[in-house]
Structure 1
Amino acid sequence: MTRTVYVNGDYVSEHDAKISIFDRAFLMADGVYEVTSVLGGKLIDFDGHAKRLERSLSELDMRSPVSRDALLDIHRELVRVNAITDGLIYLQITRGSNGDRDFVFPDPETTEPGIVLFTQNKPGLANSPAARTGLKIISIEDQRWGRRDIKTVQLLYPSMGKMMAQKAGVDDAWMVEDGAVTEGTSNNAYIIKGNTIITRALSNDILHGITRAAVLRFANEAQMQVEERNFTIDEAKDADEAFITSASAFVMPVVEIDGVPLGDGTPGARSRRLREIYLDESLKAAI
């Protein structure tokens, strides 16, 4: 089935979609993005993603070409025309193109921002086999730029991290800076000691995860405490459990770090319970 995508105001076939070669996202990675999950034909935590998108745009002095209400309408129309039951919607807004390449930002009064959205069909997204087996990860040095709180399209190093993990025969990598874990290549990182979830505090060092915020809200329902602080890889190896969160993986247990199994090497009860609560509550609130 050929997808219908949204490009700069028009719904078109993916084969007919075009953007300028001078678009600054292409030339300068000058753009931001969001990924929203779809379960049962409904959007998961759309408002959270929309708010973070607005923050990212503001931090880069970039304007949105559409309102939040219009953005919701576009998401729903793409779900409808592409018959998405379970899947993802990728959204990217760029600073646009003024018809040439220049390091200096183009005049926002005369240069319209670019916007692209497309769907990815993922049947059974919430029933990933990885949730039953858990993830094996390695640690790598964090070599990204300093404003990781802005969800930009600068994803080369995270992609390299994914490839390092693949080469090592594992599922993903956690990045380490100044001796402490920052986050995964495309997710936030957590360990569990006893009934306490430990995760790095929000700052410019990590992405302010939408799923992260929800899971930490739901921790009380799982009868767990939350401690926001730095932790090391050695501390992680000694943890009772570990997990990651993201918009597409939800809550995913981690069972091995740098070859060291956590517990008995299978997903822990607390991580499984957090995933269950997150999915239940998110489906209730889906729009």
Structure 2
Amino acid sequence: MQSVFCIHNATVIAGYARMDRSAVLVEGDSIADVFSERRFAQKSFGPQVHLIDAGGAYLTPGFIDTHIHGIGGFGTEDMSAEAILAMSEILPAWGVSSFVPTLYPMPEEDMIRAIRAVVLAMGHETGAEIIGIHIEGPFISPAQLGVQRIEFVRPVDLELMQRLWDASEGHIVSMTVAPELKGMRELALFCNQLGIVLQAGHTDASYENMIEGMQAGIRHSTHMFNAMSRLHHRNPNAVGAVLIQSDLSCEIIADGLHVHPDLIRLLFRDKPEGNIVLVTDS
């Protein structure tokens, strides 16, 4: 028998709407109804329905973290399925229902071990669901490393990309790259054919490099404002390209520390909300 429960007396966030003192009825894996607390009081529920009083707390859809390296002392650098599953167990406490484990540039054999660890964990989650793998590098700019280690940064290498893809068994969903690198058009063609989303990040690209990257198929960008060439009045560079090109979506770490709060407000004023993705990059 499927589980049925109703969370009531909640502040429900549904799309762009906020519904105060409302209830959500869940049947199995599906949301069956959303209604007001007044309607909840008028309803009659059978003994099979578990009632949960939210006490006025916010009730939102589960967060999807598309850029996360680790949490709670566990991470992809552990190169073990157990660490990935520990991440899965911890994340629901922070409202995250699914996530994309993200790898740093490492020696090739370690990257392959880390990728295989994620693949082994998939399907065995007891918490947040793993929905793919994000590779942050190694085809990034030495001039915009952030916390990446320069000895693991590589020029574009399609044979290496093929080996990473094979290790993932088709589960790499996104990859951070520097659009200005030689061979990027060929890499973009390779990844586009496999359905891998390329993200501009850790890049020292000029504005023209960014436009060329978009033409090759780059449609997203990694942690906006961080580890990318700065806006200049004579060259908009990577930051300017993300602001100017409305079709180029972006991540942002909106903790108020990685990016000034007023720049976050500027981004939301400038770009369509549907093209901004909040991430932790934790």
Query: What interval of TM-score do these two structures reach, taking the shorter chain for normalisation?
Result: under 0.3
Which protein shows a greater Rg? 2
TM-score after normalising by structure 1: 0.25
TM-score after normalising by structure 2: 0.25
Structure with bigger RCO (C-alpha 8 Å, 6+ apart): 1
Q: Which has the higher helix share?
A: 2
